[in-house]
């Protein structure tokens, strides 16, 4: 296992899995339509990015698409968390 595979493959996969777990936790605690829709978007984006990253680790053509998807889903997760935090404080 080389350092490049760890940095560009395994670490983004771990981040994507942690985002999926976090969005399920937020959706379970605050059951509203916005959280559900954002959770589905995060789940789809991270599932696709994990699939692409596994294919890249199995010697497919490299791409930055999964990293961009993980970045976008991270932004969505932050928005979901801030919305959850705002609703809890009220």
At 4 the pLDDT is 85
Structural domain that includes position 18: 3-89
Q: CA-to-CA distance for 48 and 87, rounded, in angstroms?
A: 30
Q: Are 52 and 63 in contact (CB under 8 A)?
A: yes
At 90 the pLDDT is 63
Question: Rounded to two decimals, what is the model's pTM?
Answer: 0.89
Q: How far is CA 75 from the centre of its chain?
A: 9
* Closest residue by Cα to residue 57 from 13, 15, 14: 13
Dihedral angle of Cα 57, 62, 66, 68, to the nearest 10 degrees: 150
Domain count, the chain: 1
Q: CA-to-CA distance for 79 and 75, rounded, in angstroms?
A: 6
Mean pLDDT by 10 residues, the chain (90 residues): 87 96 90 90 96 92 92 95 79
At 60 the pLDDT is 83
């Amino acid at each position: 296992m080389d350092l490049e595979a760890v940095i560009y493959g395994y670490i983004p996969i771990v981040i994507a899995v942690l985002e999926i777990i976090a969005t399920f936790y937020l959706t379970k605690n605050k059951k509203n339509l916005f959280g559900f829709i954002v959770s589905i978007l995060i789940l789809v984006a991270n599932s696709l990015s994990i699939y692409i990253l596994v294919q890249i680790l199995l010697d497919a053509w490299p791409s930055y698409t999964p990293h961009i998807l993980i970045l976008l889903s991270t932004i969505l997760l932050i928005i979901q968390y801030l919305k959850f935090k705002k609703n809890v404080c009220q």
